[in-house]
Amino acid sequence: MHSLLSGPLSTQRLTVKIAGLPASLQGKKLVQMSDFHYDGLRLTEKMLEKAIAVSNAAKPDLVVLTGDYVTTTTAPIHQLVLRLKHLQSRYGIYAILGNHDIYYRQSKAEVTAALTSIGIHVLWNQIAYPLGQELPLVGLADKYSKEFNPAPVMNQLDAATPRIVLSHNPDTAEILQAWRVDLQLSGHTHGGQINIPGIGPVGRYYKKLVRYIPSKVRRRVSFLRKDYSVLHHWEWAQGLHQLGKNQLYVNRGLGTYLPGRLFCPPEVTLITLKSG
């Protein structure tokens, strides 16, 4: 994908307040990257190299990857991990899978194995403790998978314990309101991809626009079918959102789909934790 279509990489810096964050975790730095869609088409080597360099320069305590490493075929994951091997993180790299990583029956196993082979911890309805027992990191199955079921995982945590939750699709924030989620990190939206200043992501008008496409065409193309929806909550297409006591951050991702990104640059997120 030509950088003209995507715009330059943007580094988003934010400080997130977490209630009850222990003093020892004050100021810890996280990097989030998402939606690589590494398939030789949607992400340039240059953009990927730059993103990795930005992450390493931040000297993060933790790096999290929130899904969609590939687009359809899983073959490119084996090249992608050769690049991701250069990521540096004090307490490790943790990843979840997106809907594109489970596209075919064998995708999930193959993407997981490739990421694992370079030491990345893939969480699928699992809890990890890279920053210690006082701040669990939850990684959920993708919302479009049959295994998306947060209750058995979330219920393992004591309500008094702050936690960070990785969940590819930001729509899950609605369901996750049943639990304490100090910080949910998501991707999937590509920021709405085409974002008109003052109006917002064009994707939210998708259902209205799609009516003008002949039904014969619509039936053949999966994402034009009536029941298909990339996202319900377009208001969560990017950035930090407060949902009651829960917080959601949506990363715009790195890969670009045609017709390109407009006012929606690819993103690396640098998050500093603060007690609040």
Please tell me whether residue 98 binds Fe ion under the rule CB under 5 A. yes
Q: Which is nearer to Fe ion, 6 or 182 (CB)?
A: 6
Instruction: Give the nearest distance from C-beta 68 to Fe ion in angstroms.
Output: 4
Q: Per-residue string for binding with Fe ion, 56-95, x by CB under 5 A?
A: ------------x---------------------------
CA 78 – CA 88 distance, rounded (Å): 19
Measured on CA atoms in the order 263, 172, 70, 229, is the torsion positive or negative? negative
Instruction: Give the nearest distance from C-beta 107 to Fe ion in angstroms.
Output: 13
CA 80 – CA 39 distance, rounded (Å): 9
Which amino acid is residue 140, in one-letter code? L
Instruction: Give the nearest distance from C-beta 241 to Fe ion in angstroms.
Output: 18
Q: Per-residue string for binding with Fe ion, 131-150, x by CB under 5 A?
A: --------------------
C-alpha dist (Å) from residue 62 to 27, 52, 59, 65: 12, 13, 9, 10
Considering only residues 171 through 200, tell me which ones interact with Fe ion, judged by CB under 5 A: 188
State which residue has the least CB distance to Fe ion: 188
Strands (E), 149-219: 164-166, 183-186, 195-196, 200-201
Instruction: Give the nearest distance from C-beta 101 to Fe ion in angstroms.
Output: 9
Please tell me whether residue 99 binds Fe ion under the rule CB under 5 A. yes
Q: Which is nearer to Fe ion, 39 or 68 (CB)?
A: 68
Instruction: Give the nearest distance from C-beta 34 to Fe ion in angstroms.
Output: 9
Q: Which is nearer to Fe ion, 52 or 250 (CB)?
A: 250
**b/e sequence 49-77, b meaning 16+ C-beta within 10 Å:** ebbbebbeebebbbbbbbbbbbbeebebb
Instruction: Give the nearest distance from C-beta 187 to Fe ion in angstroms.
Output: 7
Helix axes 107-117, 77-84, angle to 10 degrees: 20
What residues line the site for Fe ion (CB under 5 A)? 68, 98-99, 188
